[in-house]
């Protein structure tokens, strides 16, 4: 006998089984994502969950690259996608000459990351993505942020529940390039990856890593401290005073806030100089949605990545998008008592009392199914009527049709409405 260890019968740590009730929740959530995407005029795409590991080879020290699930098979190095964005870049590149810009694409991929587990953080998650390719102006950012709020609204969360923090990477880059990074622009991406850890490891550790002479950034200690101090700015006007005169990043942020005002969501978005995000490819506006009570990790994160396609060898195409996970939002909805009670959606149960009645029962079920009803036929024999009624009720069915010898002889089914308890007869032909 092959004995399987009990632990091998669990789903691998950090992954989930979806029982029917779990899948009902997932479908409900995805329906909201799809409906919002549709209302914004986005088209759905997908890509394989398996990619060439090479697609994720980036050297900025990002967590996402270190957490890759990868393996070699027949001489190929493959990886489970930790995110969708590089796959999208690949897809865009393959048809670059034939696409009509801007593209508005959305997807709901399952993504895999070997994470340290915390609340809302898992080793697989589904991530709703919306991306705009081919539009350089912040009109795209504004649409995307409006879509994020349209989704949280549709999920029942109020304006006070979910907020967005937003920044512009170029704000930091403009200053650093004119100064400490003048000769080493390539240090900017690893710098952002380190700064992104501020909440997690604290200011002192960030300064230490930025100033580590053996590290990828190697600022002098004074410059590192100054940089970290600037991350405390929470006011765009203050940031503007510290930025170079006529900074394009400041102008874009001002324009973005005007647009957000027209969408009616400007009061849910705050400027926050500490938001840089942990992915190397972002170049412009970066943002994060979070729960205002502040107990969970980011609900959603995104930004502009105008140079990703070039870095993969394509012609440059400006792009911006976000990823919105299923796990954090589920925790948040549960905290707020907003997880809906989702019925199975069964309409009717057809119950042949004996095998003699089965053909008649099948014909009735066929008719109702053809009308679009969800119909269960009792498959076994000898079930008691009470049990059938109780099961049907629990499944949320509205009616049960009973066909016994007497009903069969008269060519009818006895149909009971479970809510009212009333019975009527329905002709079988």
Applying CB under 6 A, the residues found at the interface with ligand HAM are 83, 85, 113, 115, 120-122, 125, 127, 129, 131, 279, 298-303, 321-325, 327-328
Please give the Cα distance from 205 to 231 (Å, whole number).
Answer: 14
Q: How far is the CB of 356 from ligand HAM (least distance, A)?
A: 54
Coil vs helix vs strand at 314: coil
Q: Which is nearer to ligand HAM, 260 or 308 (CB)?
A: 308
Distances (CA, A) of 36 to 31, 33, 40, 150, 394: 8, 5, 6, 7, 32
Nearby residues of 181 by Cβ (< 8 Å), 6 or more positions away: 173, 187, 188, 191
Contact criterion met (CB below 8 Å) for 112 and 80: yes
Q: How far is the CB of 320 from ligand HAM (least distance, A)?
A: 7
Q: Which is nearer to ligand HAM, 206 or 298 (CB)?
A: 298
Please give the Cα distance from 59 to 82 (Å, whole number).
Answer: 16
Q: How far is the CB of 337 from ligand HAM (least distance, A)?
A: 21
Q: Which is nearer to ligand HAM, 188 or 282 (CB)?
A: 282
Q: Which is nearer to ligand HAM, 125 or 358 (CB)?
A: 125
Q: What is the Cα gyration radius of the chain?
A: 28
Q: Which is nearer to ligand HAM, 85 or 247 (CB)?
A: 85
Coil vs helix vs strand at 352: strand
Q: How far is the CB of 129 from ligand HAM (least distance, A)?
A: 5
Q: Which is nearer to ligand HAM, 115 or 226 (CB)?
A: 115
The H-or-E segment that residue 88 falls in is helix 85-94
Contact criterion met (CB below 8 Å) for 15 and 124: yes
Q: Which is nearer to ligand HAM, 305 or 351 (CB)?
A: 305
- Name 252's bridge partners: none
Q: How far is the CB of 300 from ligand HAM (least distance, A)?
A: 5
Q: How far is the CB of 113 from ligand HAM (least distance, A)?
A: 5
Q: Which is nearer to ligand HAM, 131 or 347 (CB)?
A: 131
Nearby residues of 28 by Cβ (< 8 Å), 6 or more positions away: 340, 342
Q: How far is the CB of 287 from ligand HAM (least distance, A)?
A: 10
Q: How far is the CB of 64 from ligand HAM (least distance, A)?
A: 6
């Amino acid at each position: 006998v092959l004995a399987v260890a009990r632990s091998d019968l669990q789903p691998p740590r950090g992954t989930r089984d979806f029982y029917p009730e779990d899948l009902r929740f997932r479908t409900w959530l995805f329906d909201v994502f799809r409906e919002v995407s549709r209302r914004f005029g986005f088209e759905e795409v997908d890509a394989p969950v398996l990619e060439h590991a090479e697609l994720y080879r980036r050297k900025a020290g990002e967590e996402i690259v270190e957490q890759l699930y990868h393996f070699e098979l027949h001489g190929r190095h493959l990886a489970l996608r930790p995110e969708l964005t590089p796959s999208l870049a690949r897809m865009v590149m393959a048809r670059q000459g034939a696409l009509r810009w801007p593209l508005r694409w959305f997807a709901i991929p399952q993504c895999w990351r070997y994470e340290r587990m915390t609340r809302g953080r898992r080793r697989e998650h589904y991530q709703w993505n919306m991306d705009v390719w081919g539009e350089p102006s912040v009109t795209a950012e504004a649409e995307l942020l409006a879509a994020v709020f349209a989704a949280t609204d549709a999920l029942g969360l109020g304006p006070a529940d979910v907020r967005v923090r937003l920044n512009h990477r170029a704000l930091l880059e403009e200053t650093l390039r004119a100064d400490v990074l003048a000769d080493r622009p390539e240090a900017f991406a690893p710098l952002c990856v380190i700064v992104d850890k501020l909440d997690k490891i604290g200011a002192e550790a960030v300064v230490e890593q930025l100033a580590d002479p053996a590290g990828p950034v190697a600022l002098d200690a004074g410059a590192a401290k100054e940089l970290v101090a600037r991350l405390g700015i929470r006011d765009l006007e203050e940031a503007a005073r510290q930025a170079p005169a006529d900074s394009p990043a400041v102008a874009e942020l001002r324009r973005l806030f005007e647009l957000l005002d027209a969408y009616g969501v400007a009061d849910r978005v705050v400027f926050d100089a500490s938001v840089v995000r942990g992915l190397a490819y972002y170049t412009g506006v970066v943002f994060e949605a979070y729960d205002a009570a502040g107990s969970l990790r980011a609900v959603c994160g995104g930004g502009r990545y105008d140079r990703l396609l070039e870095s993969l060898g394509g012609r440059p195409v400006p792009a911006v998008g976000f990823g919105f996970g299923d796990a954090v939002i589920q925790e948040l909805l549960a905290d707020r008592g907003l997880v809906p009670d989702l019925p199975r959606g069964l309409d009717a149960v057809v119950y042949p009392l004996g095998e003699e009645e089965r053909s008649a029962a099948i014909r009735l079920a066929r008719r109702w199914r053809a009308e679009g009803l969800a119909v269960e036929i009792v498959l076994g024999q000898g079930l008691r009527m009470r049990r059938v009624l109780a099961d049907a009720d629990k499944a949320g069915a509205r009616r049960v049709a009973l066909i016994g010898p007497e009903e069969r002889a008269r060519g009818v089914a006895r149909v009971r409405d479970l809510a009212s308890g009333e019975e009527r007869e329905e002709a079988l032909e």
